[in-house]
Copies of this chain bind each other. A is one copy, B any other.
Amino acid sequence: MNSLAAPKLWDKGYDVDPRIQRFEVGDDLTCDQKLVVSDAIGSVAHAAGLVKIGLLPVETFQLLRAELAHVVDLAEQGEFQMSSEDEDVHTKIENWLTNTLGEPGKMIHTGRSRNDQVVVDIRLFTRQAILPVYGAILDACEALLDLAQRHATTPMPGYTHMQRAMLSSVGVWAGAYVESLLDDLTLLDTAVALSDQSPLGSAASYGVGLPLDRQYVSDLLGFAKVQNNVLYAQHGRGKFELAIVQALSQVMLDLSKLAQDILLFTTSEFAFFSVDVSLTTGSSIMPQKKNLDAMELLRGKVHVIAAMQQQMLTILGGTPSGFNAEYQDTKRPFMEALDLVESSAVVAALNVSQLTPNEEKMLAACSPDLFATDVAYDLVQKGVPFRDAYRQVANMLDDLAEFDVQAVLAMRTHQGTSGDLRLDVSAEKIAERRTQLAEREAELAAIAAGLLDGSATGLPVGAD
């Protein structure tokens, strides 16, 4: 028996070369640690399903359920730890059940495979883990919305091509990010909904020769529906997680742009905003430095999630049908992507909430050239065709007078500009999402509790 070998579910009397095992397990155990609770909950539902079709005595079910509830307790206290000896979370838990309960432990795997177990685990994990991601993104929305509301009409030069373009406002700038993030969430909703299908019953990829009641188990777990075709259920591995990461990459795109803006607008040269010193870090050599490291990192993180989505998609691409081992390498990028987006949104919210506009500096940057288009429109109002007006102004750029910034800003009246920002629409959307989020949290807690204490199954707790 080699040193890496905890009992394997498929043990057939030979040892795996330890170098192979290390290569296969890699850092996957760290990911599997996050699946303990999901695996236990999924197992309770699966076992209840076996009772339903007469393949498991109800008292055996109750023993399993109680022990799985115990595992969940231990896990929540950090006392159910994967070790390098364990092949994976599914093995760890089945071994645990067999060690503590004996025969019942050997019965729980009837009609399922680790293949469908990992898929259901990831989906149960996902629906829970996505909630704080939503929460953090809403935090960022609120911080931005608050800034936009406070400075809806604070003048700020608008830039295109990194050059001064036209007059804008802090409200327009911050509000743009709010709306973008809210739209991202609709993409995320669809991806999360796709993942709300129960794969249980797909087994290795081809179902089993037992009369499983897949709908019953799906309902117990609170899934929106059964993922019908058993082979497709397996093909969803990695694919559905990818869909979520793709939606999240849109969030990171916004945050990356926001970070670049903050970095640019807080340079000594722009100085449009200052940031609280508690958000900066120093240099080991230069006493004067107060760097916005977190914003630089945030700027780059879009490329980190881009690499994650890339890895997930290309690993899956070109693999033949049925489960393939490399699907495993979609797990870590997925889990890390959730953490990445959550922490990124938290940090973005924090930075935005600490941004102080330097109104004087922004006003000073509203140089006459910023108003060249407005001059042309004056000519248009007097009947000059726009293209002619444009050329006239282009020839008198050096002679443009100073502008009354507030007067020009007052003319930004059409929808989506500082005069009509419609921030209330965004505020309502955020509030609605907050409510939904709280409801979903409660719903998931109730499902888990009902399974772990057995009440959801309607099965007698006591004797047969």
- Establish whether residues A269 and B365, one from each chain, have CB atoms under 8 Å apart when the complex forms: yes
Contacts of A369 in B (CB 8 A): 288
Nearest-CB distance from A165 to chain B (Å)?
A: 5
Nearest-CB distance from A337 to chain B (Å)?
A: 12
Contacts of A311 in B (CB 8 A): 303-304, 306-307
| Complex CA distance for A243 and B172, rounded to whole angstroms | 24
- Establish whether residues B14 and A257, one from each chain, have CB atoms under 8 Å apart when the complex forms: no
| Complex CA distance for A14 and B281, rounded to whole angstroms | 10
Contacts of A385 in B (CB 8 A): 103, 106-107
Nearest residue (CB) in B for A299 is B318
Please judge, given known A-B contacts A110-B380, A325-B291, whether A250 and B243 are in contact too, CB under 8 Å: yes
Contacts of A328 in B (CB 8 A): 297
Contact with B along A107-147 (1 / 0, CB 8 A): 11111111100000000000000000000000000000000
Contact-residue bracket for chain A: 35 or more
| Complex CA distance for A396 and B207, rounded to whole angstroms | 23
Nearest residue (CB) in B for A387 is B106
A455 within 8 A of B: no
Contact with B along A266-295 (1 / 0, CB 8 A): 011110000001111111111111111110
Question: How many subunits of this chain does the assembly comprise?
Answer: 4
The B-contacting residues of A in range 177-209, CB under 8 angstroms, are 177-180, 183, 186-187, 189-191, 193-194, 201-209
Contact with B along A224-261 (1 / 0, CB 8 A): 00111111110110010011001101101110110111
- Listed stretches A65-73, A77-85, A413-421, A439-447; interface member: A413-421
- Of B194, B228, B284, B388, which one neighbours A9 at CB under 8 angstroms? B284
- Establish whether residues B283 and A160, one from each chain, have CB atoms under 8 Å apart when the complex forms: yes
A463 within 8 A of B: no
- Establish whether residues B322 and A313, one from each chain, have CB atoms under 8 Å apart when the complex forms: no
- Establish whether residues A12 and B284, one from each chain, have CB atoms under 8 Å apart when the complex forms: no
